[in-house]
Amino acid sequence: MVKVQMFLRELPTFEASPIFCCLDEAVERDLRKFVNVFERASVALRFLQNAGADADHLKVRKEEEEQMLAAYLRASLMEFVGMEDSLPTDLRELGIEMPPLRIWDTKNAMLILLRELRHIHIHVGRSKFLRQSKAAVFRGFGKELETDVVARTIPKQDLDQLMVGRRAKHFNKQELRAPIDWLEESQNNWGINDVVHAAVNTYTSLIIMEYASGV
């Protein structure tokens, strides 16, 4: 069996956290040609915005907050992978006779690990986020304010399931540890939501680059 390759180069750093979950402006403009992929990316980010909300915003009881946050993250990741599923339809409708760019094809460790995350423990709603309160500086709308933010992360034991699940057979286990450690460290900056946000923008950017000559 051919093992999936993952590269750690050209991965984002997470020194700051965006206020809104949205596509980069230039990406959004070009991605609209890929109607179905654009729809899945937009919905993924909408779910992700809710995955960072609180019980009041979600209009649920406080004791339901964690399960709802896990559900929205689960939904966001499903839509992220749905971009891959929708791409062949868009290529056909655009008359582009090129193979679809699968997430595995990118060899991007961030994209591949998030694709696999939908198969692990958190996606059946039994896992909870870890919560860290972090001091931050809000910059926007011409203002700069000191504040605290809550960073939600997936527990290490859940990430480690990527090493032992039945889908681990697709990867070289000796090479899988480093990307998982990278994901754990990256989400510890401002939370798993920022990693998913970056993944949606990265995959859409790669799609636009891959088919630039055909649209």
**pTM (predicted TM-score):** 0.88
Q: Is the pLDDT at 209 greater than 80, yes or no?
A: yes
Per-residue model confidence (pLDDT) at position 141: 58
b/e 83-97 (16+ beta carbons within 10 angstroms → b): bbebbeebbeeeebe
* Alpha carbons 157 and 73: distance in angstroms, whole number: 17
Cβ–Cβ < 8 Å for 147, 137: yes
* Alpha carbons 201 and 23: distance in angstroms, whole number: 6
* Alpha carbons 37 and 100: distance in angstroms, whole number: 12
Per-residue model confidence (pLDDT) at position 206: 97
Better pLDDT: 133 or 6:
6
Per-residue model confidence (pLDDT) at position 76: 94
Per-residue model confidence (pLDDT) at position 136: 52
- Per-residue pLDDT averaged across 15-19, rounded? 75
Element (H, E) at 163: none
Which residue in the block uniquely carries the two structure tokens 């679809």? 100
pLDDT in tens, 66-97: 788 888 888 999 999 999 999 999 999 999 99
pLDDT in tens, 105-146: 999 999 999 999 887 655 444 556 777 765 555 555 566 566
The domain ranges of the chain are 25-214
Per-residue model confidence (pLDDT) at position 125: 47
pLDDT in tens, 142-183: 665 665 567 788 888 888 888 887 788 889 888 899 999 999
- Per-residue pLDDT averaged across 188-193, rounded? 89
pLDDT in tens, 23-61: 999 899 999 999 999 999 999 999 998 887 776 777 778
